Structures are given as C-alpha cells and as structure tokens.
Amino acid sequence: MTIKVPVQTFLSSQAGNLPSFRRSRLSAAIGFAGALFIAGMSGSVFAAQGVPCGPGGGVGVGAGNPGGETAAQNLSVPTIMIGGSAGGLVCGTPDAPSALVPPTGTPLSGYEAPGYFWVQKVHTWQAQCFNDVEAVAFGAWGDNLAGDAKLKVGSPIRVEIVLQNLTDYSATIPTLKGYDVIKLEPSKLDRESAYGHNAGTPTFTDFPVELGPASWLVHDAGITFSVLNTATGVYAVPPGTSPTAEINATGKVVYGYNLRVGVAGPYRIQFTSSPLVQFNGVDAGGQIDANNVYIDINVATGGKGGGKPTKAAN
C-alpha cells in the first residue's frame, strides 16, 4: 500500500547554514519534495538471528539487539548508498549505477496470491543501486512507533526507520529498475508470510518496474541512534549506537533494532545521520536539526505488549 505523506520543509529555512558543497542538490531536493509517496515498513529483516521482530537480548534497561532473519532478503527498491553499501551489496556510481540482477531459479506457486512468483529467501535478484557522497532524505518510522501499538516493559519493541530519497537526480538518472514485491499470504502474520514478485505464466519471466528518484531509498552507513528515558534522564541505548542496516521482506533497506526496557515511562528515540546525509522531514515525531530526528513513545508497565510493526511494507 502506498500512502502520501507531507514533507516538512525544515531544511529550506536552514539552507544558508548548510555546507556549501551541498547547496545545489539541497535546493533541488526541496523543490523536488513537494509531495512524497512512501511505503510502510515490515518487521521481516535480513541480518542477525531470530524471527523478525523477535525478542531482543536480555531483559532490562537498554537490553536489545538488531533482530533479523537467518536467510538474506533481496534488495528490490533502488537505493543510494552513502558511506558504504548495505549488506555487502555491489553497487555502481551515479554515472554508472549497477545493473538490475534478474531472479534465477524456478518460480514457485501454491500461495494465496494466484500465479507463479519469484520468492524472497528462495530466489536471488537485486535492484539497481549506486554509491554517492551525499543525500537528502525523509524519515519514515515503523508503524508501531508512530501508531497506537501498546508498548510494554520487558516486551520487544521494534525500532525501525526508513530513509526515503529526496535528492533530485531526475536530470541525470530519471529512473532505476527494481521489483514490486508483495505479500503472498495475506491471511498470515507479516512475519510468517512469504513475499515475492510476479513471474508470469505459462512462460516464466520477470517484470521489473521503473522507479523515479522519489521512490528510491537512502542507505547511510554512518547513521546512529539513541533511546532516552526523558523522565529519568537515563539512556536505555546510549548515543552513538549503530542500528543494523537490514533488507526487509519487500526489499527495502531499513534500520532496525529490537529494544527492551525495564522501566516504564516516556522515551525518546533519536536517529543521527552522518554529515553526508541530511534530513528534510519525518512522518511522525520531529526534527531537531539537519542531522537529528526523533519520535517520543510511552512504555507501560508489565504484561505482554505489541511493539512489532503492525503492517508490512508494500
């Protein structure tokens, strides 16, 4: 499901204070971002261990881990890599983005969605991507943080954010190719469903989609985050902590962390980008400056709570 969200214009008022090497692209990004279409996010991820959105490390203040799945997911949405590629992906340059890698193997059927599909964790493919030296991004938080999920002490709280590209490459790179990955088993929980993209029938092929810069994502290798109990002043996760760059079930790069806290109360989750990536708005919470965004949550006492994203990224 694609949703339209407003883009805050914080950076437009700060453009004069930004490093000079960024201003030309920043000006383009501000004009480029009058309206941005972004997708939601999923708890299915690629990186560490355990089930998606599974429990974090130990129980207690600040306990948690970067949660993930044992099998790798395929990048399906074109992505700009800043400061290094996510998950060891091989990407190109702005002048020569990496080529689309079509899926290999034999498509599968028998899912709730009719037809044959190239399936995450079964087949291999890769959307186009490239490395660059700077980017402007819009932050989209996980549904559980921005919505009304009941967050509980001792239960896993999934922390996720996606960086949606706002840098205007339309004059030089009008489109890049990727794949439209969908949930194949709608009756199942997001973390239990298979995900894939159309393989056609009776002649198997693939159907890449052309996506403009507004649909690309940004990977910031230097991004960090923190979680502060604003009532006690104690950090559950200290500043400078690196989240895990993960590829979720729909093939998007997300930053994920499975958090557990041992004390109820208000918490502020803050993400800090590297100097090479600047924010121009978030879909919830607020923005402190060009490199810092946050969202405030409240964690209640006891019991089993939600904390997992409520919807998959589509």
**Residue 99: C-alpha distances to residues 92, 108, 141, 168 (Å):** 8, 25, 30, 20
Query: Does 180 have pLDDT greater than 50?
Result: yes
Residues 134-171 have pLDDT tens digits of: 999 999 999 889 877 789 999 999 999 999 999 999 99
Q: How many whole angstroms separate alpha carbon 216 and alpha carbon 32?
A: 13
User: How far apart are the C-alpha atoms of 221 and 273, rounded to whole Å?
Assistant: 9
Q: Which of 10-19, 75-84, 168-177 has the lowest mean pLDDT?
A: 10-19
% of the chain beyond a pLDDT of 90? 67
pLDDT of residue 43: 32
The closest alpha carbon to 35, from 138, 134, 142, 172, belongs to 138
Q: Is there a domain that residue 247 lies in?
A: yes
Q: Residue 285 above 60 pLDDT?
A: yes
Sign of the dihedral through C-alpha 123, 127, 132, 134: negative
How many domains does the chain contain in total? 1
| 298 has pLDDT over 90 | yes
Q: Decide if 312 is inside a domain.
A: no
Classify residue 314: in a domain, yes or no: no
Tell me the mean pLDDT in the region 40-62.
30
Q: What is the pLDDT of residue 199?
A: 96
- Residue 303 — very low, low, confident or very high, per pLDDT cuts 50/70/90? low
- DSSP letter at 108 equals B
pTM: 0.77
At 217-259, the pLDDT tens digits run 999 999 999 999 999 999 999 999 999 899 999 999 999 999 9
Average pLDDT over residues 287-309: 81
Identify whether 51 is part of a domain. Answer: yes
- For residue 192, tell me if it sits in a domain: yes
Whole-angstrom distance, CA of residue 287 vs CA of residue 38:
18
Residue-wise pLDDT tens digits, 101-114: 999 899 999 999 99
pLDDT confidence of residue 49: 27
Is 93 a residue whose pLDDT tops 80? yes
Tell me the Ramachandran region of residue 97: left when phi exceeds 0, alpha when psi lies from -120 to 50, beta otherwise: beta
What's the confidence (pLDDT) of residue 12? 39
pLDDT at 30 exceeding the cut of 70: no
DSSP string, 138-149: EEEE-HHHHS--
Question: What pLDDT digit, counting tens, does each position of 265-277 carry?
Answer: 999 999 999 999 9
End-to-end CA distance of the chain: 5
Would you say 291 and 272 are in contact if contact means Cβ atoms under 8 Å apart? yes
Pairing of strands 2-5, 36-39: antiparallel
Q: Cβ distance 78 to 98 under 8 Å?
A: no
Query: Is residue 196 helix, strand or coil?
Result: strand
Task: Tell whether 163 is covered by a domain.
Answer: yes
**pLDDT, position 174:** 96
Instruction: Examine residue 313 and state whether it is found in any structural domain, yes or no.
Output: no
Looking at 31-45, 81-95, 165-179, 271-285, which range is the least confident one? Answer: 31-45
Domain that holds residue 51: 2-300
Which of the two residues, 25 and 286, has the higher pLDDT score?
Answer: 286
Is residue 59 domain-resident? Answer: yes
Q: Which two tokens mark 248?
A: 């979720």
pLDDT tier for residue 116 given thresholds of 50, 70 and 90:
very high
Nearest of 196, 186, 192 to residue 116 by alpha carbon: 196
Say which residue the tokens 């890049």 belong to: 176
